[in-house]
A and B are shown apart, each in its own frame.
Chain A
Amino acid sequence: MVEEHSTATQSIQDNVLQAREAAPLHSDGKMVRLLDHFKREWQLYVMLAPTIIWFLVFLYKPMYGLQIAFKDYSIFRGVAGSPWVGWEHFETLFSNDQFLRAIGNTIKISALNLIFGFPAPIILALMFNEILNARFKKTAQTIVYLPHFISSVIIAGIVITAFAPTGGIVNVILGWFGIDSIYFLTRPEWFRPIFVGTGIWQEAGFGSIVFLAAIAGVNPSLYESAVVDGANRWQMMWKITIPSIMPTILIMLIIRIGNIMEVSFELVILLYQPATYSTADVVNTWVYRQGLQSGQYDLAAAAGLFNAVVAFVLVMTANTLSRRYSRTSLW
């Protein structure tokens, strides 16, 4: 019996070896497997292609130009022809008060955005989740999603009109309480609250979709179990919903931290003016003015590279910390 079994096993092994020899392509490693996969699933690769091309053209190809941060760039000599200057532009940057101020403003605005802007869509999603009337819920969602689809130029126009010293709704309301009209957009101390508030108004609704999707994924029997255990809606929100969507919150936080140096450039440009530069000028607007308006492309590239490196370090750190302490991470 044992002999029969071992003979049968040997025969199977021989067959496998013969099959391998007959089909050598399948033993040639990853490249061949990839080609096989491509032949089999080419439709998927075709669908993937536009995204890859977009990445290559708009994100990877421009990286070639990053080297001008270390060159004395001239548009006539081109990227390759311009002479190397080492860290000179970075030294210039860090001895420039306006750039240092822009870094400070970027960090302050980002911190305010993180403190007030990041929780806003979460709170909104939690509130939507508690609305039981389906029609009211849909109407409320449509209303708060709407600003996201309005162009930043129009948003800025609405804000400028709303905060206008004469006829602006905010000053009209202040007038009802006997408060003198304030020209908000020329006052440095008002820029950040208005900017952060506008950002929340524009994006909180749309941002809540991700969290609503996460809430929809929470196992309904957790709530049923809690109901039987005696939990009320408030307790269920704190003890079930929020902990259950915490991985999503952390992922979104990591992404947000990665974008901490990317304060909404268009909105700042549209809302700020020289009178508010002291609190409104951020790295991106400074780069825009120096790079495009003053033609100092190399200096602007150095500032942009600095921005990217800081963002990279931040996102790596946040991801590592999140993975270590909450078992949730982007990669």
Chain B
Amino acid sequence: MAGVSLSNIIKRYGAVQVVHGINLEVAEKEFVVLVGPSGCGKSTTLRMIAGLEEISEGDLLIDERRMNRVAPKDRDVAMVFQNYALYPHLNVADNMAFGLRIRRMPKDQIATTISETAAILGLTDYLERRPADLSGGQRQRVAMGRAIVRHPKVFLFDEPLSNLDAKLRTQMRAEIKRLHNRLGVTSVYVTHDQVEAMTLADRIVVMNDGRIEQVGTPMELFNNPVNTFVAGFLGSPPMNQMKGQLTETGARIGSAEIKISGAMNGDAGRDVIIGIRPEHVTLEPGAQTSVLPIELDLVEPLGSEALLHARFGDDNVMFKTETHGDLSHLSGVAEVHIPASRVKIFDAETGNALSLGG
């Protein structure tokens, strides 16, 4: 097993710089997810780790060895691609054995490895089938099998679940997590799906426009986003962000006064963005809660929960609440209650989180 270290990694295509000096340490056996919107540089970063893209500047270390000029085959990494990259003319067994044959592993050893891996992935009955005869989930498993049989130091996943339907994605997500727990191989996983990132990662790296916005555990990022981008990217539905001003006792959003935990340190009057996660509001008042009057627009039942689409002043806001199996109490909702400890404050200009003294 090995760690991966990226130090001031820059990627340029001609004069265009797409990755602007990334620094990241992936510990041994850690599962790190790079997440961000399309074009944020996450796949490019992964491909630089794999050796499929040249690194313009900076240092890449795998297992403490500088890899910038090392050929992909000698980096001891295995990659799972978005479209699986299965060889259509080979059956499942041959697809999985491809890398091993290239490395001239003895035939009996290949057979044993394939059979063990197929058993782990539930592919034993499909070894003779070609990719065209498999379902999306099975193809995905073959792609993972091809990576596993190599016993690499690092697994690289490039949006491996994005071609699957929602149900299968949930299922495969759990399988990947189980597999990682079982094999304990250092993994770097790229996705644009924040749910995948939250559920799979030991640590999440949120990227935007070729830069890292924040690195941390899923709950760190969820509870303490460093800026409005991270706050808006992680969480489903995303955090409500409303313009307001700090006051002596809290913050004002339009006509509403919101209590905030922590002192204002004389920042009263400062323009800020107030962030409230949809799931943090309550319909009943509590100690240290503030009232936010809303105009309810739509109720979307999700079963045990419901999404409330509403308007507050000029802002569209969204809240999540438990239904207890009944939607009748939601139809007349005209206000929600915001716990002071859950309110996030960001600078209106920079979008960076403001830490309030306590």
Contact = CB atoms under 8 A, between A and B. Distances in A.
Interface of A: 219, 221-222, 224-231, 235, 239-240, 243-244, 246
A227 B89 contact: no
Interface in B51-97: 51-52, 72-73, 77-79, 81-83, 85, 87-90
A224 B99 CA distance: 12
B50 A228 contact: yes
Given A219-B83, A240-B87, A228 B77 contact: yes
A105 B103 CA distance: 48
10 contacts: A219-B85, A228-B73, A228-B77, A229-B102, A230-B72, A230-B99, A231-B73, A240-B87, A243-B89, A244-B89
Contact of A230 (B50, B83, B88, B102): B102
Contact of A224 (B77, B78, B85): B85
Contacts of A230: 72-73, 99, 102-103
B20 interface: no
Contacts of A227: 51-52, 72-73
A240 B51 CA distance: 20
B170 to A, nearest CB: 24
B180 interface: no
B150 interface: yes
A225 B52 CA distance: 9
Q: Which 10 A-B pairs have the closest CB atoms?
A: A230-B73, A229-B99, A225-B85, A243-B89, A221-B85, A221-B81, A230-B102, A228-B79, A228-B72, A227-B72
Nearest to A242: B89
B98 interface: yes
B98 A246 contact: no
Interface string B101-118: 011000000000000000
Contact of B79 (A225, A235, A239): A225
B52 A224 contact: yes
Given A229-B73, A230-B99, A243-B90, 9 more contacts: A222-B87, A225-B85, A227-B73, A228-B78, A228-B79, A229-B78, A229-B98, A229-B102, A235-B102
B52 A228 contact: yes
A246 B85 contact: no
